């Protein structure tokens, strides 16, 4: 059952950014999916580490101000390991939308760390690296 719950949590995470068809993205739901004090990191030219709020704020703005529309991202493959009340998942993902009036696509890797809480599985940390 844990793997099924983690699959659902991960799908809900990716769904938080979806604003296709004019519906508003629900990035605020990340506050419920992550534990308080969760850590988020982006690798690339420079390493950037975010708090939950530092991660949410600019994405809420970008997905609601008309700059990034018809956007979604989805997992294309994953490997999940569950050991008791902890789990890790590494997955490949793709994304697409319209950014500043132009088609936008990309892909990358996301790594998640999960813990089982009294409310169910939650994300403790995640990191990502974009390929394009």
Give the model's pLDDT for residue 57. 95
Give the model's pLDDT for residue 44. 84
Measure CA 112 to chain center. Answer: 9
For residues 121 and 94, is the Cβ–Cβ distance under 8 A? Answer: no
Block means of pLDDT (10 residues each) for the chain, 132 residues, are 95 97 94 95 93 95 96 98 97 98 97 96 97 82
Q: List for the chain the helix, strand, coil content (%; round to 5).
A: 30, 55, 20
Give the model's pLDDT for residue 123. 98
Q: Which tokens go with 13?
A: 């995470």
Whole-model pTM: value is 0.94
Kindly give the pairing relationship between strand 48-50 and strand 68-83: unpaired
Give the model's pLDDT for residue 6. 98
């Amino acid at each position: 059952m844990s793997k099924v719950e983690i699959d659902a949590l991960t799908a809900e995470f990716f769904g938080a950014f979806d604003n296709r068809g004019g519906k508003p993205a629900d990035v605020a739901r990340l506050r419920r999916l992550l534990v308080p004090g969760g850590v988020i990191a982006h690798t690339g030219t420079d390493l950037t580490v975010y708090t939950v709020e530092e991660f949410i704020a600019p994405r809420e703005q970008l997905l609601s101000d008309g700059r990034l529309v018809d956007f979604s991202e989805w997992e294309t493959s994953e490997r999940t390991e569950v050991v008791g009340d902890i789990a890790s998942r590494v997955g490949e993902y793709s994304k697409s939308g319209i950014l500043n009036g132009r088609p936008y696509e990309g892909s990358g890797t996301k790594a998640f760390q999960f813990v089982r809480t009294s409310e169910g599985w939650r994300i403790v940390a995640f990191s990502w690296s974009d390929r394009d």
